[in-house]
């Protein structure tokens, strides 16, 4: 199982966060960090490549047997086409993008009356960009970025209907669109091209619940079950560690107007996810991260690094168990 490193789980350490006050890592430095952590790939924001020697980076990654996923945003076909061309030159297997439109935490209330038109625009742009992806033989994969739900991801995939188009699956984000994580995984598994490994703690609120970052394996996500579902597709799917943001995400699923632009859901579906939330919620208490508490840059960096190292140790254990199970079935 090949796992890489994303910059977005450690934005202070990587110099990505504007408050970090340190230089942003260059692409080769990110690759070196991945190697030092015994990882097998990287997810590079396309903006990191401004002024970079693409051929040299491609060779550097290939010599070290690192996979590359290129990261961008939006559905403008001209922009996506340029990033896909760049990804092909770099030797990337996948370009990850996002639809956006909703506030983080799955909040579409500002899009009431406009959400369906927005989705149609996204479909049109992604469909045009997929033609470029097919020509280049590279994947274009939309993330569940706390914006679109599984129903809409499946609609995009079945409508575009291309082997080069699919999903970047963020393992923590089903909860941001009020969906049970394993159910979400089963639904979208046939279309997954790339994975963000993320876990969350849950804290109840008057309007719903908050999602707060935590090390992999310490939160609510059942990674062994998720990975088994993805393995059953028979495809090698790249994965990167991407811990949650430094700000908690508030999912206001109990607000009267939260659901206005969501696909129809049954009472039993909501009861299922709400039971999951209640069963996994932590006791009431301090949920803010060091960043949210206004602690120093050094404190935030140390916090990020502790969570990253803990996450990698957890994954090693998960993969060892999976390998033993495979050997037992051989």
pLDDT (0 to 100) of residue 1: 76
In this structure, the number of other CB atoms found within 10 A of the CB of residue 206 comes to 7
pLDDT (0 to 100) of residue 164: 99
CATH number of the domain that 136 lies in?
3.20.20.150
**Of the candidates 267, 191, 275, 199, the residue with the CA atom closest to the CA atom of residue 233:** 191
Ramachandran assignment for 74, one of left (phi > 0), alpha (psi -120 to 50 degrees), beta (any other): left
CA angle centred on 47, ends 42 and 51, rounded to 5°: 100
φ, ψ of residue 230 to 5 degrees: the values are -70, -40
Instruction: State the DSSP string of 279-317.
Output: HHBPPSS----TTTTT--HHHHHHHHHHHHHHHHHHHHH
Q: What is the DSSP-derived secondary structure letter of residue 251?
A: E
Bridge partners of 103, per DSSP, are: 107
CA–CA separation, 211 vs 77, rounded Å?
Answer: 32
Mean residue pLDDT of the chain comes to 96
CA–CA separation, 175 vs 250, rounded Å?
Answer: 10
Give the β-pairing of 209-213 and 94-97. Answer: unpaired
**Of the candidates 67, 51, 53, the residue with the CA atom closest to the CA atom of residue 6:** 67
pLDDT (0 to 100) of residue 145: 98
Sheet containing 249-251, strands listed edge to edge, beginning at the edge strand earlier in sequence: 200-204, 209-213, 249-251
Number of independent structural domains in the chain: 1
pLDDT (0 to 100) of residue 322: 58
Q: Domain containing 102: what range?
A: 3-329
φ, ψ of residue 87 to 5 degrees: the values are -60, -40
CA–CA separation, 47 vs 251, rounded Å?
Answer: 30
Cβ-based burial of 310 (10 A; exposed 0-12, middle 13-18, buried ≥19): middle
List, for the chain, all residue ranges whose pLDDT scores fall below the cut of 70: 321-330
Rg from Cα positions in the chain:
19
pLDDT (0 to 100) of residue 107: 97
Tell me the per-residue pLDDT of 146-186, one tens digit each, with 9 for 90 and over. Answer: 999 999 999 999 999 999 999 999 999 999 999 999 999 99
pLDDT (0 to 100) of residue 274: 98
**Of the candidates 232, 247, 147, 124, the residue with the CA atom closest to the CA atom of residue 185:** 232
pLDDT (0 to 100) of residue 325: 59
In this structure, the number of other CB atoms found within 10 A of the CB of residue 61 comes to 22
């Amino acid at each position: 199982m090949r796992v890489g490193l994303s910059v977005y789980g450690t934005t202070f350490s990587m110099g990505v966060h504007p408050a970090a006050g340190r230089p942003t890592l260059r692409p080769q430095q990110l690759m070196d960090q991945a190697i030092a952590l015994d990882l097998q790939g990287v997810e590079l924001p396309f903006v990191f490549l401004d002024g970079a020697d693409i051929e040299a980076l491609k060779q550097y990654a290939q010599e070290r047997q690192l996979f590359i996923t290129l990261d961008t945003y939006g559905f403008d076909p001209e922009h996506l086409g340029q990033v896909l061309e760049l990804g092909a030159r770099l030797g990337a297997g996948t370009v990850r993008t996002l639809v956006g439109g909703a506030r983080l935490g799955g909040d579409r209330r500002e899009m009431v009356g406009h959400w369906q038109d927005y989705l149609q625009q996204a479909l049109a742009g992604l469909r045009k960009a997929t033609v470029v992806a097919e020509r280049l033989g590279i994947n274009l994969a939309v993330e569940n970025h706390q914006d679109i739900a599984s129903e809409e991801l499946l609609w995009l995939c079945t409508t575009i209907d291309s082997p080069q188009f699919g999903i970047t699956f963020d393992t923590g984000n089903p909860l941001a669109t009020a969906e049970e994580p394993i159910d979400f995984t089963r639904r979208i598994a046939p279309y997954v091209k790339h994975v963000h490994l993320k876990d969350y703690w849950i804290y109840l609120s008057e309007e719903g619940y908050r999602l707060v970052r935590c090390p992999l394996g310490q939160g609510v996500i059942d990674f062994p079950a998720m990975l088994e579902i993805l393995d059953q597709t028979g495809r090698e799917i790249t994965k990167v560690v991407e811990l949650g943001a430094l700000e908690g995400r508030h999912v206001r699923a109990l607000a009267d107007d939260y659901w206005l632009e969501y696909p129809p859901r049954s009472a039993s579906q909501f009861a299922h996810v709400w039971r999951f939330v209640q069963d996994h919620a932590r006791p009431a208490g301090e949920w803010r991260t060091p960043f949210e508490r206004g602690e120093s840059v050094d404190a935030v960096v140390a916090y990020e690094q502790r969570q990253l190292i803990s996450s990698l140790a957890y994954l090693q254990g998960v993969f060892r168990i999976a390998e033993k199970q495979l050997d037992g079935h051989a």
